Homo-oligomer: A and B are copies of this chain.
Amino acid sequence: MSFELRIIPLGGLGEIGKNMMLIETPSDALIVDAGLMFPENDMLGIDYIIPDFRSVLDRKGRVRGIVVTHGHEDHTGAIDHVVEAFDAPIYATPLTSGLLEVKLSRAGLLGRTKLNTVHAGTRVTIGPFDVEFFHVCHSIPDGVGLGITTPAGLIVHSGDFKFDHTPVDGWPTDYAKLAEFSGRGVLALLADSTNADQPGWTPSETVIDAAFDDLFRAAPGRILIGSFASLISRIQQAINASERHGRRLALVGTSMVENAKMAQKLGYLDVPEGLLVPIEEALKLPSNKVVLMTAGTQGEPSSILGRLATGKNRQFDLKEGDTVVFSSHPIPGNEELVHRTINRLFQRGARVIYDPIAPVHVSGHANAEEMKLLIHLVQPKNFVPIHGELRHLNQHAAIARELGIPAENIAVVENGYSIEFEGGRLRVCDRVPGEYVFVDGSGVGDIGPAVMRERERLARDGFVIVRLDLDTATSRLASRPSILSRGFVFMPESGELLAAAEEKIREVVARGNGSRLADRLESALSELFYQETKRRPMIFVIVNPVAVAAAEK
């Protein structure tokens, strides 16, 4: 079927609509973003998930560029995989570009592609696409949305955005450009749906200044602020509060130090002379003159906050009067780990401040009323909710319908579906094949559902290995069977169970050494273990034939 323009959101299975998008005409293509997904709790052992772009690899020769909207991991984290696969030049704003440079250089891919820096408010021609970068507020500076003029019409991509009227960097979302787009006529708006089920308007980052002031005033000793390493504006707020309250600030941890250095170099972080000090120096200052800021607020046991919570941080420990601030929200699925960390910090004597105790964090994404404003500003003919889970896309679509966009002009699609435009009309087409591409250690995509199911089973009930020597002449046990288990029962206290297992083995062996002795032993033991423990460990029986008679000769 013919089409003028096609959009395919990519990103593994359909539920998460984020990470990567292909926009193509019949002859040329553009990639927007190249992010990773963090594994869910039941994706055991997986490090992260990258978009499944295998089905669009045939566009390789036609991809004119990779545009990245901002520097967060869920939009940049797969850049090395995408650059290796498509070999196309990258376009991004200065800070995003700086962060991509760090990533590509770590992956040894810096020479592989051209990294073009484009300032918000300017435009660049990429093949048949005329791309206008416009500034949006988000929880990292220098984020942009995109106005993409294509042969089929103007597509507006919101990036990750909120309408913060008092952003930390004083740079609001580019309302004028959005209104200008509407004047030109917008074929389709693709808009961030992350908070579609949250009513109202996301609070401005400024509310955090007041919360910081309160807690800086009340803190008797050191203040430790935990946040995300990429939340440059939060670092700025901590710097500003430190200045207002006569404290010095030390950044702790490689990723935060590196990001801050890059942001400062590029002019995205404004640091008063002498305010930033190295951690070694900060530790020597009086407690009420110091702020330490670090990443790792997701409960990661190996992060600095995680190590402080368990008393295992080497460089410094908690001390009397410390106030710990979680200037972040738990990523869904991390709640238990985060709360456990908070509890342990309390246990070790710290005062811990977190939202909702005080408004020390706000979301970087638009809430429902902001979404409505975006739609009214842009006045698109067609609407495609992007970013967020299917439930968010659906809710965002409901918002668009409320605002008068006809249902047939709205496409709620999971990753992998093609959305085609022709004659100004939108059409949802087939789904390209795709699945989760798990990255585990150095393996990319080699772990599939079969291995995940094995891990689940092992995690639940462990396994048992039985090894027995069978006298080939007599078909009897030549020695006591050895039984080993992991993750099933605590062996030193399971004497009775092991004795019962040995008894069962003897019983089965005594019934004869048929061709399938190992199988028969496995099912007999499986039954015994389930009966005794109501657990179903994996069982492996290794029958080792020995020629006792021959050996004894």
Contacts and interface: CB of A to CB of B under 8 A. Distances in A.
Interface stretch (A91-99, A142-150, A533-541): A533-541
Contact of A335 (B45, B333, B395, B484): B333
Instruction: Kindly report how many copies of this chain are found in the complex they form together.
Output: 2
Interface stretch (A64-72, A164-172, A487-495): A487-495
Contacts of A546: 546
Interface in A465-490: 465, 467, 484, 486-490
Nearest to A341: B391
A461 interface: yes
A357 interface: yes
A395 B368 CA distance: 31
Contacts of A199: 356
Interface in A521-538: 532-535, 538
B335 A332 contact: yes
A219 to B, nearest CB: 14
Interface string A179-198: 00000000000000000011
Interface residues of A, number: 74
Contacts of A550: 547, 550-551, 553
A282 B488 CA distance: 45
B343 A339 contact: no
B458 A486 contact: yes
B487 A458 contact: yes
Given A332-B335, A390-B343, A443 B535 contact: yes
Interface string A39-61: 01110110000000000000000
Contacts of A41: 41, 333, 336-337
A44 B551 contact: no
A548 to B, nearest CB: 10
A171 to B, nearest CB: 30
Interface stretch (A151-159, A261-269, A447-455, A505-513): A447-455
Given A391-B342, A490-B450, A547 B551 contact: yes
Contact of A547 (B15, B44, B455, B547): B547
15 contacts: A15-B343, A44-B459, A44-B460, A197-B356, A332-B336, A333-B335, A333-B336, A343-B390, A352-B391, A440-B535, A441-B534, A455-B487, A544-B544, A546-B546, A550-B553
Interface of A: 14-15, 40-42, 44-45, 197-199, 332-333, 335-337, 339-340, 342-344, 346-347, 352, 354, 356-357, 389-391, 394-395, 414, 440-443, 446-448, 450-451, 454-463, 465, 467, 484, 486-490, 493-494, 532-535, 538, 540, 542, 544, 546-547, 550-551, 553
